[in-house]
Structure 1
């Protein structure tokens, strides 16, 4: 049995041959099912201008999922500070927490949520990329508005997302729990966690360091099935590695026919050992290794596979192997 809680990151992939409306309908079924499997929390990521990922505001998905479930914690993983005013974030998530006490998380991230420069500027009303100092001010202001402006007894639990030592240091300075994006930049994980634990200062939000590590996880009964299911995200991933966010999310059959270059195959092969792809026993062992290596108090699993039934089956197999179901 896994010694730490398991949670879920939903990126709402818009699959080839389907519509965004289909993806939205799936999010309801998905939330209800992972709740019954015993996962602790479900977070939604903010993305824009991508053919593979729906541009669905996390705050809206959280509200809908909260009305469709009863126990699982719901939050943003993350809502992106550059795209929102601090007071609006505080009001939106404060309202959610008032409606659904002790169930709402406010996970804050820094990126624009898009690789398209025009979209990023539109989100910022023409402004350029946010600086380190501006980001620090915005996060601190959001926390201040939660306390000073949201006139409710129940507040959301704030988290800071980090994929580098800089983000981890900010979380430590502000006394926030940190969610490490191991599924994006695994080479930075160890250094970011070390920086966070060394610098952490207690706050009203968190008495001691709390580390959540997000891991890309694909689980199926056989290794052949795992590789089939992982194919579509591999196609999207090589596009992202080339700085392109315009790659649709293909079917497994389409992905199997994709002509990867040798350089792309090597990049994918270098990423895979850091994640948790495999049969149930293999995934359970790999997740345990990640907990042992990082000291994480919680793991969050992201499973970007094509069909809802296969995504749910992966989470079900992991839950069973980890002793959750």
Structure 2
């Protein structure tokens, strides 16, 4: 375990929060818990705290992502706060430039802008967002437009200006669950974050694509890759595995197209799923790490060695807020943050 902890201690760890709405809870409860977790994460030494844009999902409260980012930043002091991510094709690039220009102006040097191209929802909701089903195809052009709004006014002939936003150095990350954004991030010399927490089978190929396509830029001299990972830690392996059944139920409901808040853990998932459903869920959650401190340390060290990532962003969809805090505390102790 000592060697594993040494491996964990060489990279930063961060938090990805969906502001989960649990069964019997409300969005108000979720935001209260988000602020509480963010404050603890800051105290424990986590590097950044990101929130994700999803829509029409009764177990996720962070749909108005920019608003929640501002709330978290206002209630913390030093931790970086950002989006993991904003689904850019859902928005006009100018609006995102203004929102994040406002956030950066309010909380200088603490804001990250992670961008994805998926809708973050179903197609019916995407249409309600006024999104063309095919407009993710022009993501590179939207990204280029967004970046011009952050440029100094003298560096562009663009008449439309983002105020605030113009001339602000807001780190832009590209997020992905396949090789498309990996290659684009590499070509543009931007940092890249891969969603291994729900697309584990493409992790290594996407990271390889990113590194092989990387071109140095004014942003980065060399590649910087972060991976999102489900990590659920508890005092025993048995308890961690039980806590993880909440996450398994979340993905089981997605497989079944059932919309429910986050469900409490159960003792036996075999009473809930059939063999096909189990295979589908386990395929999407194949990189999940759940266990005691020793189990988490060993498995995380092996993951870091295999992927050579520069940073890990941990997501822990745990029903009980105190158990969720404990999970992040155990990891912070392991990584000596």
| TM-score of the two chains, using structure 2 as the length reference | 0.90
1:124-144: per-residue Cα shift (whole Å, max 9, x none)? x25223242x11111111112
1:206 aligns with 220
Query: Whole-Å Cα distance in 2 between the matches of residues 121 and 258 of structure 1?
Result: 37
Matched, 1:142 2:156: no
Question: Would the aligned equivalents of 1:232 and 1:255 in 2 still touch at CA under 8 Å?
Answer: no
1:261-318: per-residue Cα shift (whole Å, max 9, x none)? 1222233444555222111111112111121111111111000110111111000001
- 2:248 aligned counterpart, secondary structure: helix
1:76 aligns with 83
1:286 aligns with 299
Match of 2:260 among 231, 247, 255: 247
- Mark the CA change 1:128 to 1:266 in structure 2 (over 3 Å): closer, same or farther: closer
Query: Whole-Å Cα distance in 2 between the matches of residues 308 and 122 of structure 1?
Result: 32
Match of 1:229 among 231, 235, 243: 243
- 1:201 aligned counterpart, secondary structure: coil
Question: Would the aligned equivalents of 1:16 and 1:251 in 2 still touch at CA under 8 Å?
Answer: yes
Matched, 1:301 2:314: yes
Displacement of 1:245 after TM fit?
5.8
- 1:252 aligned counterpart, secondary structure: coil
1:127 aligns with 132
Matched, 1:261 2:274: yes
Query: Whole-Å Cα distance in 1 between the matches of residues 14 and 99 of structure 2?
Result: 23
- Mark the CA change 1:180 to 1:310 in structure 2 (over 3 Å): closer, same or farther: same
2:58 aligns with 51
Matched, 1:275 2:288: yes
1:38-74: per-residue Cα shift (whole Å, max 9, x none)? 1000000001101111253121111111111111000
Query: Whole-Å Cα distance in 1 between the matches of residues 286 and 60 of structure 2?
Result: 25
Query: Whole-Å Cα distance in 2 between the matches of residues 285 and 215 of structure 1?
Result: 15
- Structure 1: runs of 5 or more not aligned: none
1:16 aligns with 23
- Structure 2: runs of 5 or more not aligned: 1-5, 153-160
Matched, 1:113 2:127: no
RMSD: 1.9
5 Å-filtered alignment, 1:22-101, equals: 22-101=29-108
- 1:218 aligned counterpart, secondary structure: strand
- 1:159 aligned counterpart, secondary structure: strand
- 2:172 aligned counterpart, secondary structure: strand
Question: Would the aligned equivalents of 2:116 and 2:174 in 1 still touch at CA under 8 Å?
Answer: yes
- Mark the CA change 1:126 to 1:171 in structure 2 (over 3 Å): closer, same or farther: closer
Query: Whole-Å Cα distance in 1 between the matches of residues 131 and 111 of structure 2?
Result: 31
